[in-house]
Structure 1
Amino acid sequence: MARPGVPAPPPEPPRVGITLQQLRQSQGLSLDELSRKAGVSKSMLSQIERNQANPTVAVVWRLATALGVGVGELLGDGRPAPPAIVTVPAHGTPTLKSPDGKCELRILGPIDLAGEFEWYELTVQPGGALESEAHEPGSREHLSVLAGTLEVSAGSDTSRLKAGETARYAVDLPHAIRNTGKTIASALLVVLHAA
């Protein structure tokens, strides 16, 4: 807080170093590559990224243009906008297995949607069963078989599905997915929880 009669110090200029480094790295660019693309020396880029220099407006414009972002994003608070596409590597996809090890669910949906909208890649070995208790009233599942055959039961109803077929069924009662065939079956499973 400024004392009466003493002017407040001017605000710090924006520090674009962290943002610049994150944007450059997210695009897989080296300092050399960005230097050539933007027409800014490698040493200047290095100083900017280490917050040892603040670029001029012209340099900020060149860097933003070379990176394909707005000037405002580069002058932001150090946190670049999230990327338009986020890729999850195969090893980063969580997997659940049934107690008998014959059913595997790869969790394809983001964790923040769990309990609302979930989707999985399901693989069921011959003789395997994924048995579930009732979900919230009004909840539904959609099962699309990609390979093999699967049997779906919900309450007292049962349906057998082959590759290319989809079942949509209520899951606010006990339900199960079984592989009664002789080959591995795979499917996409979508769970819509009632609000």
Structure 2
Amino acid sequence: MVAEASGTLVVASRAESIDEISALTGQNLRRLRTRRGYSLDRLAKISGVSRAMLGQIETGKSSPTIAILWKIAAALDVSCSSLIAEPHETALRVLTHAKAKVLSASEGRFQTRALFPYESERKVEFYELRIAAHHTEKADAHRPGTVENLVVSRGTVEIVAGRHAPQILGEGDAILFEADVAHSYRNMTGSEAVLFLVTTYVEEISG
């Protein structure tokens, strides 16, 4: 009877642990997906994981395999651990340049370096942008309410946001615009341009 009772306790403990991991994974997935402005359909197309499975993971109804986690993490461009990490607060954290997460696009002509830990939940993100000489980088519209605040550290850059007239920024100039429209960054010089970007997201409203 003791062994049976002990066995029951172990099973219950494992079940509770699985439920906690499933719930945490679902919360992290929803946060990371909405941060990038991805719908479930878009993430399903990029990751190769069905929309139904993604929906079940987000609601905590399904515990994904490691293979599925890797597919989702790759599509969101985050570490696999980000999907199962518990939220934590750190009073001080150094993000060294050597260990920075640098994302490249357009065959390396446009690079973004996150100046914040990906694992932490936030409504504001801070990036360093590097644009190769004479390169234009086009960006899709972010989710409604997203705001971008840019300052040029080096070079001269043209910013186009939606139907607004192109804005030319020199070193030290800054711009603020709603980024829920297609927008672009064009380096107008013959050397690499460097900018710093603060992206602010609105609180998601559940229906």
- Name the residue aligned to 1:120: 127
Asked if the contact 2:132/2:187 (under 8 Å) is kept, the reply is yes
Q: Cα deviations across residues 110-132 of structure 1 (Å, max 9, x unaligned)?
A: 21456732111111111222211
Amino acid of the structure 2 residue aligned with 1:164: G
d(CA) in 1 for partners of 2:163 and 2:94? Answer: 41
Per residue, is there more helix in 1 or in 2? Answer: 2
- Name the residue aligned to 1:176: 184
Amino acid of the structure 1 residue aligned with 2:161: A
Return the TM-score normalized by structure 2.
0.51
- Name the residue aligned to 1:96: 103
1:156–1:100 Cα change, 3 Å: farther
Per the TM alignment, residue 98 of structure 1 is displaced from its structure 2 partner at its CA by 1.1
- Name the residue aligned to 1:154: 161
Instruction: Tell me the secondary structure at the aligned position of residue 167 of structure 1.
Output: strand
d(CA) in 2 for partners of 1:151 and 1:121? Answer: 17
Instruction: Tell me the secondary structure at the aligned position of residue 91 of structure 1.
Output: helix
Give matches, 1:26-175, under 5 Å: 84-113=91-120, 116-157=123-164, 158-175=166-183
Amino acid of the structure 2 residue aligned with 1:188: F
- Name the residue aligned to 2:199: 191
Asked if the contact 2:95/2:116 (under 8 Å) is kept, the reply is no
d(CA) in 2 for partners of 1:115 and 1:127? Answer: 33
Runs of 4+ that moved beyond 2 A: 82-85, 112-116
Instruction: Tell me the secondary structure at the aligned position of residue 145 of structure 1.
Output: strand
CA RMSD of aligned residues (A): 2.1
Per the TM alignment, residue 184 of structure 1 is displaced from its structure 2 partner at its CA by 1.5
Deviation larger for 166-175 or 128-137? 128-137
d(CA) in 1 for partners of 2:152 and 2:202? Answer: 23
Amino acid of the structure 2 residue aligned with 1:134: A
Amino acid of the structure 1 residue aligned with 2:178: A
Asked if the contact 1:98/1:104 (under 8 Å) is kept, the reply is yes
- Name the residue aligned to 1:48: none
Amino acid of the structure 1 residue aligned with 2:182: P
Asked if the contact 2:95/2:115 (under 8 Å) is kept, the reply is no
d(CA) in 2 for partners of 1:138 and 1:127? Answer: 30
d(CA) in 2 for partners of 1:97 and 1:172? Answer: 22
d(CA) in 2 for partners of 1:114 and 1:159? Answer: 32
Amino acid of the structure 2 residue aligned with 1:189: L
